A = this chain, B = another copy of it.
Amino acid sequence: MNFQTYIVLGGLIIYDNIPFFEIYINTSLEICEARDPKTRAGEIKEFTGVDSAYEPPLEPDLILNSGEETEIESIQKVFNFLYEKKILPEEAMYQLCGQPIRQLFEFNKEEQNKLIEEIGNNLNFKIEISEIDLQWIQVLAEGWASPLAGFMRERQYLQCLHFGQIFDLKKKCQINGERKEGDLNCDEEENDGEDQFPMLGPINQTIPIVLPIFDNQANLIKSKLSSKPKIQLIFKNKLIGILKDIEIFPHRKKERIHRQFGHFVEEKEIENGHPGIKLIMESGDWLVGGDLKVFERIIYNDGLDEYRKTPSELKQIFEEKQCDCVFAFQLRNPIHNGHALLMSKTREELLLKGYKNPMLLLHPLGGWTKDDDVPLNIRIKQHLAVLENGIINKEWTILSIFPSPMCYAGPTEVQWHARARLTCGVDAYIVGRDPAGIADNLTGDSLYEPSHGAKVLSMAPALPGLEIIPFQVAAYDKKAGCMAFFDEKRSEDFQFISGTMIRKLAKEGKNPPKGFMPENAWKIIASYYQNL
């Protein structure tokens, strides 16, 4: 910056009260040279840093390590800085950098001990959590449900069930249907401790993320509620984290199931009924909400942990790959050539729209699934085989595992699957015809109208910046001998290959029509079913 510029800037700062920040773009001489070779060539005399001394700023407001960090990282740092200094308003920050990710990890040992020590002996509540609870803890801690601070409180639970959204992170649901004498405003919000995390508007959240507990535990904790107890969350004798500033409220399981699933299963049918509903019916009658702190990354040591990327990690990967548009594909089934066709086609169309480097987040669901779904490890093997085969190009694909358990809640759950991907920087979401295909146990009919997933998601509120791409149905084109987009005009040429058919062929050691799935990928599925 030359003297003249300083003078002008000084004038602006003094006379116009414009804030001034010094940003140090710390770049090695080597990198500067590489960027502009003329400088070293000695063409310019007294060039700063070459034959004239370079004086680095003594107390810069921000340092950008140009050459070490990527261009995108540097830009991100400037945005963050301007946001912190209140130059960039929240909404602009949101638009520029996407939804902020709220991670709930506390890796610092000292802080962990402080949290544990604060728990007095007589307030030493421990809750043994299930594997599904653990998966939800992972979802929360890694930030997939940002900006949730932990398991839902009653307000958030009711907002989720009634409106499919979260409107606030307020602490308590204090309206008891009564109002205090003289308090016309009944402004319960004023009485609440307000969560400090920026919430820039409602956010879509259709699936309750809650921690059910049983009567005895609930009664014990409720009796000590005034002492503000913390709760240790224990999985297989290991302390996973702490739940603090807690709140206990009724888990009206039946009402929840009706609202969440648009369906219900009577007690006597529960074994043959809906697997997601069964899980809830077997859970406790109380919910404990509160702020969650998790002490370690949740890992499974199943050989798949390398694929379990957090939203931040994924965001980082997309930045490193200089990717300008991410499209996500949620799946809990093997990939066939029809899926591959759809994904390739989507990328082509994104390129046509002007994106330079659109990337696919191939994002299989990794949490609990029902018994007859193909297990995660087999699916990942199959997906890797598909990538190996090349019908989906590895160069523009990131394979990662989405840690959420499955609910099988049709159009309600489709929204959760889309919304969770917002946090890792996804721009476009591909939605299929029947994303949680499951039958009514009494009638045998498909529980949800096949088009409702796409219809409801396409209208869903509070999914800022997410483009919804409805799934085009692919089927086996007998004439062409490959998977192709279904064409109504020559429907007789197409064969729909069902999951039942796949299982039957696999078990009997037979092959599906050529062109349905790469051979190496089919072998993995066939071998799984033959060894069942």
Contact = CB atoms under 8 A, between A and B. Distances in A.
B485 A181 contact: yes
A455 B182 contact: no
Given A184-B349, A346-B184, A485-B181, A451 B258 contact: no
Contact of A453 (B163, B177, B184, B460): B177
Contacts of A412: 162
Contact of A177 (B178, B186, B350, B471): B471
Contacts of A161: 262
Q: What number of copies of this chain does the assembly contain?
A: 2
A225 to B, nearest CB: 17
A176 interface: yes
A458 B255 CA distance: 20
A469 B186 contact: yes
A165 interface: yes
A455 B188 CA distance: 10
Interface string A67-89: 00000000000000000000000
A238 interface: no
Interface string A216-255: 0000000000000000000000000000000000101011
A460 B164 CA distance: 11
B163 A449 contact: no
A287 to B, nearest CB: 13
Given A258-B259, A258-B264, A262-B258, A454 B162 contact: no
Contacts of A97: none
B159 A162 contact: no
Contacts of A154: 455
Interface in A416-472: 431-434, 448-456, 458-461, 467-472
A156 to B, nearest CB: 10
Contact of A469 (B163, B184, B448, B459): B184
Contacts of A175: 451, 454-455, 458, 470
B470 A186 contact: yes
A263 interface: yes
Contacts of A353: 184
A390 interface: no
Interface residues of A, number: 69
A350 B184 contact: yes
A167 interface: yes
A178 B473 contact: yes
Given A167-B459, A186-B469, 6 more contacts: A167-B461, A178-B433, A178-B470, A178-B472, A184-B469, A186-B468
Contacts of A258: 258-259, 261-264
A481 interface: no
A472 B181 CA distance: 8
Interface of A: 154-155, 158-159, 161-165, 167, 173, 175-179, 181-182, 184-186, 188, 202, 206, 250, 252, 254-256, 258-259, 261-264, 266, 346, 349-350, 352-353, 411-412, 431-434, 448-456, 458-461, 467-473, 485-486
A458 B188 contact: yes
A459 to B, nearest CB: 6
Given A255-B262, A455-B158, A432 B177 contact: yes
Most chain B CB within a 10 A radius of its CB, from A179, A266, A460, A467: A179
A181 B346 CA distance: 10
B472 A179 contact: yes
Contact of A179 (B181, B262, B350, B469): B469
B158 A459 contact: yes
Contacts of A346: 184
A350 B184 CA distance: 8
Nearest to A183: B349
> Ordered nearest first, which 10 A-B pairs have the shortest CB separation?
A184-B349, A177-B433, A177-B451, A255-B262, A177-B454, A258-B258, A258-B262, A179-B470, A259-B262, A175-B455
B252 A411 contact: no
Contact of A264 (B173, B176, B264, B455): B264
Given A432-B177, A451-B177, A165 B162 contact: no
A162 B250 contact: no
Contact of A163 (B165, B188, B454): B165
Given A179-B470, A460-B163, A455 B266 contact: no
7 contacts: A162-B164, A167-B461, A176-B451, A177-B450, A179-B472, A252-B449, A255-B263
A163 B164 CA distance: 6
A202 B412 CA distance: 20
A263 B254 CA distance: 7
Contacts of A266: 266
Contact of A259 (B178, B259, B455, B473): B259
A337 to B, nearest CB: 17
B455 A173 contact: yes
